[in-house]
Amino acid sequence: MKIALVGYGKMGKIIDEIATKRGHDVVARLKETPTAENLNNADVVIEFSLPEVAFNNIKASLENKIPVICGTTGWLEKKQEIEKMALENETAFLYGSNFSLGVNLFFALNEKLADLMKNVDEYSCQLEEIHHIHKLDAPSGTAISLAEGIFKHNPKFDAWKLDDTQGNQLGIFAIREDEVPGTHSVFYRSEVDEIEIKHTAFNRSGFALGAVVAAEWIKDKKGNFTMKDVLGL
């Protein structure tokens, strides 16, 4: 399969290695807006760039009728517009806040625990994410997905708030530390104890492999998808 990498930083470079090992042909490595020319007849775009450029990159790729796997976080207020474009251009779009198999299992575990805790008033809930100091957005896309998983099951919350839990707003504490690839925890605290579930990424390989697996899966599909569709979770 011919893959165009849009964004060629920490993630783009690891995806390049993994895609090549899996027998794919990386036909573009872009640090600029995609065009019909520089996409070089790619079958699929994998987009890991910056929050402020992701929307334009995805739009340009979809307008060229190329399916897009997007891992860039911090631009989601315009996701619905993109989903409409994927349908209008009869191609496909998949956004994942986190492509690793472990985190996608963790999302499912988080929802099960949220359902179990929804009527237990003794416990307060909060989230924590720890990432490297270069990360531009806070909270992380993964922490926002975890919060949304909790909203689905626990009617006490319907919004998130950075660094503080207040009323119906679930607190997400965002910590920036050294070169941490990505650590996410969900806490339920009572006066006498604490329940914690935690996912720790040791490096970026899990994210990159998941993105390539998603690209393999989406190649001839049309519509809007998530990693749940890819992994059958």
Ligand X SMILES: O=C(O)C1=N[C@H](C(=O)O)C[C@H](O)C1
Q: 61 near 95, Cβ under 8 Å?
A: no
Pick one of ligand X, ligand NDP, none as the site partner of residue 171 (Cβ within 5 to 8 A by kind): none
Stretch that binds ligand X, among 37-45, 134-142, 158-166, 220-228 (CB under 6 A): 134-142
CB of 215 to ligand NDP, least distance (A): 13
Task: Give the H/E segment covering residue 101.
Answer: helix 101-117
Own/partner contacts of 185-189, CB < 8 Å, gap of 24 or more, are: 185/127, 185/128, 185/129, 186/110, 186/113, 186/125, 186/126, 186/127, 186/146, 186/150, 187/125, 187/126, 187/127, 187/128, 188/113, 188/117, 188/120, 188/123, 188/124, 188/125, 189/123, 189/124, 189/126
Number of neighbours of residue 229 by Cβ within 10 angstroms: 15
Residue nearest ligand X, Cβ-based: 182
Residue 72 touching ligand X (CB under 6 A): no
CA-to-CA distance for 139 and 124, rounded, in angstroms? 19
Q: What character string, x for contact with ligand NDP (CB under 6 A) and - otherwise, covers 196-215? A: -----------x--------
Residue 18 touching ligand NDP (CB under 6 A): no
Which residue, 104 or 140, has its beta carbon nearer to ligand X?
140
Pick one of ligand X, ligand NDP, none as the site partner of residue 131 (Cβ within 5 to 8 A by kind): ligand X
Please calculate the CA angle 103-104-106 and round it to the nearest 5 degrees: 60
Q: Which two tokens stand for residue 178?
A: 């050294």
Pick one of ligand NDP, ligand X, none as the site partner of residue 50 (Cβ within 5 to 8 A by kind): ligand NDP
Residue 176 touching ligand NDP (CB under 6 A): no
CB of 73 to ligand X, least distance (A): 4
Which residue, 73 or 154, has its beta carbon nearer to ligand NDP?
73
Pick one of ligand NDP, ligand X, none as the site partner of residue 29 (Cβ within 5 to 8 A by kind): none
Stretch that binds ligand NDP, among 43-51, 59-67, 104-112, 215-223 (CB under 6 A): 43-51
Q: Amino acid identity of 42?
A: A
Residue 71 touching ligand NDP (CB under 6 A): yes
CA-to-CA distance for 51 and 132, rounded, in angstroms? 16
Q: Which two tokens stand for residue 138?
A: 């806070």
Please return the burial class of 90, using the count of CB atoms within 10 Å of its CB with bins 0-12, 13-18 and 19+.
exposed
Active-site residue list: 131, 135
User: Which residues lie near ligand X (CB under 6 A)?
Assistant: 73, 97-98, 131, 135, 140-142, 182
User: Which residues lie near ligand NDP (CB under 6 A)?
Assistant: 6-12, 30-33, 48-51, 53, 57, 71-74, 96-99, 207
